[in-house]
Amino acid sequence: MSLHITSTTEGQLQIHLTTKQQQYAVPDVPYSIRANVGCTELNVLLATLLKDSGKANVERVKFDFLLNGEFIRSSLSQHLKDRDISFEDTLNIEYVERYPAPEPQDCLLHDDWVSAVQAKDGWILTGTYDNTVNLWNTKGKHKLTIPGHVAPVKGVAWISLNAQTGVFASASHDQTVMLWEWNVAANSVECVHVCKGHERGVGCIAVNPSKTQMASGSMDTMLKIWSTELHGADGKGEQPSATKKAKLEQGNVRTPVVTLAGHREFVSGVQWIDDTTVATCSWDHTIKLWDLTLGGIKSEFTGNKSFFDLSYSPLNGMIITASPDKNLRLYDLRTKQGNTVKNTYLGHTQWVQSCRWSTTNEYLFVSGAYDNRVKMWDYRSPRAPIFELIGHEDKVLACDWSNPKYILSGGSDNAVRVFKSKIAVNSETDD
């Protein structure tokens, strides 16, 4: 069988169409098409082939197309020319069902800039420049304003959540990390521990996979690890002097389990790879992997720009980073030789402040930047985002995709924008 989409003026290409989504498979035979066709014409061709294969119920499904693992975003001829691919070769084009667009759902208005946001199940934590932590539900209802910090809150992180109790942490420019316990039924919050040890503002925080420890990065260039245990033993923390200890214990203060020095500037992003490995990025142009068992640096990647944020995906073993040069970069931690930067993503027009992987899809991540934009990317499409999430009227300072159903972003327009993502419909978890 051979199907022709031809014209007398254009060159011809031979293609094979393949897919991993077997419900949309078509006969694996060569098709002859014009070189100047794009996604629209390829979708027409696929619809015809699916109909001919007796799959009429999928006629309305739209597809995106990949060549050598990269999305085709122009005509085939332009795509081939840009990448020096021969027009003579038979091309193996993979097609995948097009992602549904995220839908705007809510705008959660705050009293000041929103610099941190994280969801868990039906709840959203935010941190703001008026020194408070705020608790919302995913329906857009404000539940609590939590005072306690005395400077802007730059990081929030859920530790645990059930029907009775929520436990979470907040990091602030006041040099502390606070550990909070929320009584869900009474809707009341208590600060159980104040984690002290950083000598300058704390800019980021993350909790390990087993929820037993958290890591914080600071303008003092230090990475500190803390116990998340609420009551009882703290674990083996650093031992302060007797006088200092007596002072600390008066205020329910917690000291770090360990402090790790190695960065030369602000530690701007922190993520756990596993329970004994932490990844950090810094304004000093480096990403460092720390081995907590050995208490030192395991490996290091050097970039040519500062890093503002990083996100690690356990689904693909890769790190995405955000930088002031308007780019996002993809690093493969498994690469043993050669360049660890797998791709560079250009689409923002200002500093990129924040980035987060999807927790259920190995290809997707979101980013937020000073151009007021949140963008969704597929890492196979480095030249353009797959969606723009529009709504912020000022700089985007934080983004989150912890709950696969909701993409969240906070900005200096005092707002959190909530977008509903249908990509997660078949996922098994809301964590």
Give residue-wise pLDDT tens across range 194-238. Answer: 999 999 999 999 999 999 999 999 999 999 999 999 986 554 455
In this structure, the answer to whether residues 126 and 220 fall within a common structural domain is yes
In this structure, the answer to whether residues 66 and 168 fall within a common structural domain is no
- Among all chains, which residue has been given the structure tokens 């014009």? 34
Burial 373-393 (b: 16+ CB within 10 A, else e): bbbbbbbbbbeebbbebebbe
In this structure, the answer to whether residues 92 and 140 fall within a common structural domain is no
- Output the domain CATH number for residue 347: 2.130.10.10
Q: How many domains does the chain have?
A: 2
First to last CA, the chain: 48
pLDDT, position 244: 52
In this structure, the answer to whether residues 209 and 172 fall within a common structural domain is yes
* Boundary residue ending a domain (53, 76, 97): 97
In this structure, the answer to whether residues 333 and 351 fall within a common structural domain is yes
* Boundary residue ending a domain (54, 74, 97): 97
In this structure, the answer to whether residues 253 and 369 fall within a common structural domain is yes
Q: How many CB atoms lie within 10 A of CB 139?
A: 9
For residue 159, what are the CA distances in angstroms to 34, 131, 186?
Answer: 55, 20, 19
Spatial separation of the C-alpha atoms in residues 90 and 218, rounded to whole Å: 53
In this structure, the answer to whether residues 192 and 59 fall within a common structural domain is no
In a domain? residue 237: no
For residue 290, what are the CA distances in angstroms to 128, 221, 234, 246?
Answer: 29, 14, 22, 31
Spatial separation of the C-alpha atoms in residues 38 and 76, rounded to whole Å: 6
The CA dihedral of 243, 248, 250, 253, to the nearest 10 degrees, is -160
pLDDT, position 238: 53
In a domain? residue 234: no
In a domain? residue 378: yes
In a domain? residue 84: yes
pLDDT, position 6: 42
In this structure, the answer to whether residues 180 and 50 fall within a common structural domain is no
pTM, full prediction: 0.90
pLDDT, position 11: 85
* Boundary residue ending a domain (97, 131, 163): 97
In this structure, the answer to whether residues 390 and 353 fall within a common structural domain is yes
Spatial separation of the C-alpha atoms in residues 393 and 12, rounded to whole Å: 47
**Whole-number average pLDDT of the chain:** 91
What residue numbers bound the domain in which 47 lies?
12-97
Q: 253-254 and 202-207 as β-strands: parallel, antiparallel, unpaired?
A: unpaired
In a domain? residue 146: yes
Half-sphere exposure in the Cβ direction for 415 (13 Å, CA): 15
In this structure, the answer to whether residues 72 and 128 fall within a common structural domain is no
At a CB cut-off of 8 Å and minimum separation 6, what does 36 contact?
10, 75, 76, 77
pLDDT, position 313: 98
Helix (H) or strand (E) holding 249: helix 242-250
Residues lower than pLDDT 70 in the chain: 1-10, 56, 232-251, 336-339, 424-431
pLDDT, position 427: 40
